Chain A
């Protein structure tokens, strides 16, 4: 019930997800961050489990392991990228004179991530229905891409609302957000590549990470494009 209440608060942008005025603000701030983090982990775990259920619905073996692996990996993906880019965000915020708003910006970013995770979990039944309708791996992969895109849009909407007063106070927040967003996406793409498989394809054994995992998403894409264009 508490998690559902937190989710509702995040979606309705309750005061505790955005403000920390008055006495004891620091303690409340830490508490609200922990609450948001637990919300991200819980809902991402739920969607991850559903994501990994593809093997089960396609009648493939070891589906329960894939569900567990995917359920673990989606929260790792969301929080990992955030924590890897946090030191850069902190130093650049300080350098751009935004340090006084640092707690507020981190909370806004957490709230947006929580919104993304909640939206993903809300889309989980739809994903299940599609898995039940088709056992095609490529279609399932594309469907999950779509779900993540929709959830990212929802996260963006929340982020914009939370950031509006901050940008009004200092327009430099917009530049900072853009810089951090670029760094976040840069890391998240590699992390997603590293953590694959999330679905588990037919011909391969279920494993937490692929054996060729120590590779780079960007290098693969760049070489694919190069070969496609220049042969």
Chain B
């Protein structure tokens, strides 16, 4: 236990550095890599995901079950299952998407190594899970005080969306900052971007208007008025066209795989009218279920 305490303190401090944006400042990315331990961060992220699973699964507690349903330990089993399945959802999504993302990224010329990319994705996933866990208190409050199953389903979808969007924003900005440090290492590539640059993550030349805007922002910053957050665009830069393409591909792949993985691993919430099962039958899909839940919420059917 004494050994574990410093480990967790260190990893939590690492996650805190990520959230504050300290670990993703341009100076910290000099070697074109994120200075965080992917393994340690993953452990903390999985614990936080298990906490969110607990919040999500708590819906099945304190609910009246139909008389014909003889499953006294069902709600407790559901909570435990959600605590296992939520970390699994993130971990499996990462494992499924990592190879294709890496290959695609390498094909379009990024200099990110497999380890560097794993670190980056684990960091983005950790930010995603940290935001999700912070919403846990709200989710558990509604889970314990609400009978409506479709409402809780939609609330969880909303929580995952908010956390996912913030995680993706973090990924985008970190990717961009890494590119900036990449170009600092290879100034020639920046000098002739249209011909020599193979990397998609290129700097886009600023227009005079953008330049003056960035200079104003820069002078404000040097006065020490604003602290750059983990979600801020690096100063003097705008998103390159290829960066956008790469990022869009990542978003689509992540969202689709994440949603389908969630559907395969369901139930996470557990309907009080159904007996506990670790997995449900493979029918329908995630999006049809969301539309169905909305319909049920409105009509009460």
Contact = CB atoms under 8 A, between A and B. Distances in A.
Contacts of B230: 95, 97
B299 to A, nearest CB: 7
**Interface residues on chain B, size class:** 35 or more
Contact of B298 (A98, A191, A222): A222
Given A215-B147, A222-B297, A222-B298, A190 B134 contact: no
A219 to B, nearest CB: 4
B166 interface: yes
Contacts of A134: none
Contacts of A90: 134
Q: Does more than half of chain B's interface fall in helix, strand or loop, or is it mixed?
A: helix
Contact of B130 (A84, A91, A190, A214): A91
B146 A219 contact: yes
Most buried by B among A91, A183, A226: A91
A53 B73 CA distance: 44
Q: Does more than half of chain A's interface fall in helix, strand or loop, or is it mixed?
A: helix
Given A94-B20, A95-B231, A216-B151, A85 B145 contact: no
Contacts, number: 96
A96 interface: yes
Given A97-B21, A98-B229, A226-B298, 17 more contacts: A84-B137, A85-B138, A87-B136, A88-B131, A90-B134, A91-B19, A91-B131, A94-B19, A96-B231, A97-B228, A98-B227, A100-B227, A172-B229, A186-B138, A215-B148, A219-B148, A223-B300
Interface residues of A, number: 34
A191 to B, nearest CB: 8
B30 to A, nearest CB: 21
Most buried by B among A94, A170, A172, A191: A94
B125 interface: no
Nearest to B144: A214
